[in-house]
Amino acid sequence: MSSSPFLRSVREFMLVRRYSLRTIKSYLYWIKYYVVFHKKQYPMQLSASEVESFLTFLVVDRNVSAATQSIALNALVFLYGKFLNQPDIRTVQQ
């Protein structure tokens, strides 16, 4: 897995809560992609507009399916809602 302490903590958080290994792998992929897409900024520094720009990038530039976009969105909802305890991403400070 990644050497990122942040991603390791997300993985451990999910393992403790008994998420399936496939879900963990998928969510970590999309969370890492999201962070790298935004030039490795910490997710708490990003707002709803950055989430929207990432999802738009996936559709427009990567041409992903609606199902794939949904999985990426679910990973980000988990990241902000469960892991970072920011259920309403609009409350995240920039």
pLDDT in tens, 3-47: 799 999 999 999 999 999 999 999 999 999 999 999 999 998 888
Helix 48-60 to helix 21-37 angle (10° resolution) is 100
- Could you report the per-residue pLDDT of 49-72, keeping only the tens digit for each? 999 999 999 999 999 999 999 999
Q: Does this model's pTM top 0.75?
A: yes
Greatest alpha-carbon span in the chain: 36
| Homologous superfamily of domain range 5-85 | Tyrosine recombinase, N-terminal domain (1.10.150.130)
Domain positions in the chain are 5-85
- With a cut of 70, say whether residue 92 has pLDDT above it: no
